[in-house]
C-alpha cells in the first residue's frame, strides 16, 4: 500500500497539505510525531509539506521566505510546495531549493482558489493555459533532475464545471516527467464548499500511469481508506481534516501502514487534547519564544476544543492566552476525563464557504487554452501568502 514518488518511498501513503499560517515547522513536527505513533518503526510515516512559498521569494532570497524554509531535523524528507507562474523563475527556485538547501521533494501549486491569486492567472486557474503549465512543469523537472529530486504537482478539477482541466493537466504532468499528481476533487469556483468529487479522482487514475493522490473530504482515517478503495488513488492528501486534530495522522498511519488495521481508532479525552495543545505550544516556543509561540497557538484553540462544553468565558480566555502559566491555569479548570464529543467525528473543519458564481481571472483568460503573449503575469507572485 506504500507510495513511491520518484526515488522517495513513503510506506504510509499520506501527505499533510501545506496550509498558509498552519503548517509551520512546529505543526508539521506534531503531525509527524503522531504519524510515527501510529506506525512505529516505519519512516517516513507520511510526507509533511512546508507552507507554500513563492518561487520569486526564493530567487530574490527574501528573508521571510527563507525563514519559512525551516525543518525538523528528525524529518527524513524535506518537502516544499512552490508557487509560481514563470518557468524561468520556477527553475531557478527549484535549483536553489535542491542544490543549496537540500530539499528532497518539490511540489508545485496549481490549486490555490484565492481571488488575489486567480485574478493574476496563478494557482487553480493556471492549468487552463496548457502551454504555460507544460513549460513550468518541464522547467521544474529539468532543474531538479541533477539532484535526484522528484517534482509533483497539485491541482483542482478546473476553474468551474464548464472549464475543467484535470485530465489534460494529468497527461501534461506525466509527459513532462512529473513524479505524481494530487487532485483536489473540487473546482476553483467551489473553493472549499460542497462535496469533493471523488469520481474525478478515479477518472484521473485511469487517465495516467503516474501515482495520483486524492484530496478532499477526508475527515477520518476510514475516509482515506474508502477514498483509496473507491478511486484507486495511490495515497491521500489531508488538509482541513487535521485542524485541531493532529492525532488524525496517528489514525491514518495505523490504518494505511503496510500491516494496518481497520479497527476504529480511540478518541482522545479532553485531558489528552490538552496535552496535545501544550505540546503544540512547546514546539512553537522552541523556535520563536514563549510569547510568540502561545500567540500563534491561539488560532488553533477553537479547532482543538470544537464540540467540548467549555463555556464562552473559558473559550475566550484560551483564544487570548500568551504564556504557559496562563494556559496551565485555564486547563486546571477543565475535567481531563471528559470524553471526546462524538458528534464532531467525521464533520468538516476549517473554512468552507459557499461556491462562487464567477471566478476572478485575467481579462480574456478563458478565450483560449494557450497563453496570449499580450497577457502579463509579471505581478502574479506579488502579495501571495507564503513569502
Domains, the chain, in order of start with CATH, read: 3-265+352-367 (3.20.20.70), 270-344 (1.10.1200)
Mean pLDDT of 225-235: 98
203 vs 347, residue with greater confidence: 203
User: For 297-323, how does the pLDDT look when each residue is reduced to its tens digit (9 = 90+)?
Assistant: 999 999 999 999 999 999 999 999 999
pLDDT at 387: 41
What is the average pLDDT score of the chain? Answer: 93
pLDDT at 353: 63
pLDDT greater than 60 at residue 364: yes
> Using only C-alpha atoms, what is the Rg of the chain?
20
pLDDT greater than 60 at residue 22: yes
pLDDT at 383: 57
pLDDT greater than 60 at residue 142: yes
pLDDT greater than 60 at residue 385: no
pLDDT greater than 70 at residue 374: no
pLDDT at 378: 64
C-alpha cell at 253: 498511519
Region of poorest pLDDT, from 13-17, 263-267, 286-290, 346-350 = 346-350
Q: How far is CA 236 from CA 83, 89, 105, 239, in A?
A: 21, 29, 16, 10
pLDDT band of 386, cuts 50, 70, 90: very low
C-alpha cell at 321: 492566552
Question: Residue 386 and residue 68: Cα distance in Å, rounded?
Answer: 8
Cβ–Cβ under 8 Å, residues 178 and 153 = yes
> Residue 163 pairs with which residues in a beta bridge?
160
pLDDT band of 382, cuts 50, 70, 90: low
Question: Residue 35 and residue 39: Cα distance in Å, rounded?
Answer: 6
pLDDT at 97: 98
pLDDT greater than 80 at residue 330: yes
pLDDT greater than 90 at residue 347: no
380 vs 131, residue with greater confidence: 131
- Beta-carbon-side half-sphere exposure of residue 341 (alpha carbons within 13 Å): 12
pLDDT greater than 90 at residue 66: yes
Mean pLDDT of 16-36: 95
User: For 73-131, how does the pLDDT look when each residue is reduced to its tens digit (9 = 90+)?
Assistant: 999 999 999 999 999 999 999 999 999 999 999 999 999 999 999 999 999 999 999 99
Residue 344 has phi, psi (to 5 degrees) of: -90, -10
Mean pLDDT of 47-62: 96
Find the DSSP H helices in the chain: 25-38, 55-59, 63-68, 87-99, 115-118, 130-144, 166-175, 198-207, 221-231, 248-256, 270-288, 290-304, 312-318, 324-331
User: For 248-299, how does the pLDDT look when each residue is reduced to its tens digit (9 = 90+)?
Assistant: 999 999 999 999 888 878 899 999 999 999 999 999 999 889 999 999 999 9
Candidates 31, 112, 233, 242; catalytic one: 112
C-alpha cell at 104: 528532497
Q: Is the torsion defined by CA of 194, 198, 203, 207 positive or negative? A: positive
pLDDT greater than 70 at residue 197: yes
pLDDT greater than 90 at residue 190: yes
112 catalytic per annotation:
yes
Q: How far is CA 357 from CA 159, 191, 277, in A?
A: 11, 11, 38
Amino acid at each position: 500500500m506504500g507510495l513511491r514518488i520518484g526515488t522517495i518511498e513513503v510506506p504510509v501513503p499520506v501527505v499533510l497539505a501545506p496550509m498558509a499560517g498552519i503548517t509551520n515547522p512546529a505543526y508539521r513536527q506534531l503531525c509527524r510525531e503522531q504519524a510515527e505513533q501510529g506506525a512505529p518503526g516505519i519512516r517516513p510515516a507520511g510526507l509533511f509539506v512546508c507552507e507554500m512559498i513563492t518561487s520569486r521569494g526564493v530567487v530574490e532570497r527574501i528573508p521571510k521566505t527563507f525563514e519559512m524554509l525551516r525543518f525538523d531535523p528528525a524529518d527524513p524528507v524535506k518537502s516544499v510546495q512552490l508557487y509560481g507562474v514563470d518557468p524561468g523563475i520556477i527553475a531557478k527556485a527549484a535549483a536553489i531549493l535542491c542544490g543549496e538547501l537540500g530539499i528532497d521533494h518539490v511540489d508545485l501549486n496549481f490549486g490555490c482558489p484565492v481571488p488575489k491569486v486567480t485574478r493574476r492567472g496563478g494557482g487553480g486557474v493556471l492549468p487552463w493555459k496548457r502551454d504555460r503549465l507544460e513549460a513550468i512543469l518541464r522547467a521544474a523537472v529539468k532543474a531538479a533532475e541533477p539532484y535526484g529530486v522528484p517534482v509533483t504537482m497539485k491541482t483542482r478539477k478546473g476553474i468551474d464545471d464548464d472549464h475543467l482541466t484535470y485530465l489534460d493537466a494529468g497527461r501534461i504532468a506525466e509527459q513532462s516527467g512529473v513524479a505524481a499528481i494530487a487532485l483536489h476533487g473540487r473546482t476553483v469556483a467551489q473553493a472549499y464548499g460542497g462535496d469533493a468529487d471523488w469520481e474525478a479522482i478515479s477518472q484521473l487514475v485511469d487517465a495516467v500511469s503516474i501515482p495520483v493522490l486524492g484530496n478532499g473530504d477526508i475527515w477520518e482515517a476510514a475516509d482515506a481508506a474508502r477514498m483509496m478503495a473507491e478511486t484507486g488513488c495511490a495515497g491521500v492528501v489531508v488538509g482541513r481534516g487535521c485542524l485541531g486534530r493532529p492525532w488524525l495522522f496517528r489514525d491514518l498511519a495505523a490504518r494505511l501502514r503496510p500491516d494496518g488495521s481497520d479497527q476504529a481508532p480511540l478518541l482522545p479525552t479532553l485531558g489528552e487534547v490538552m496535552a496535545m495543545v501544550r505540546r503544540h505550544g512547546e514546539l512553537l516556543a522552541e523556535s520563536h519564544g514563549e510569547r510568540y509561540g502561545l500567540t500563534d497557538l491561539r488560532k488553533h484553540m477553537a479547532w482543538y476544543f470544537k464540540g467540548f462544553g467549555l463555556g464562552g468565558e473559558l473559550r475566550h480566555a484560551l483564544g487570548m492566552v500568551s504564556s504557559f502559566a496562563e494556559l496551565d491555569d485555564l486547563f486546571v479548570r477543565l475535567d481531563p476525563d471528559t470524553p471526546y464529543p462524538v458528534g464532531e467525528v467525521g464533520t468538516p473543519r476549517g473554512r468552507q464557504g459557499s461556491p462562487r458564481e464567477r471566478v476572478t481571472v485575467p481579462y480574456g483568460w478563458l478565450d483560449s487554452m494557450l497563453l496570449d503573449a499580450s497577457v502579463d503575469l509579471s505581478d502574479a507572485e506579488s502579495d501571495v501568502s507564503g513569502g
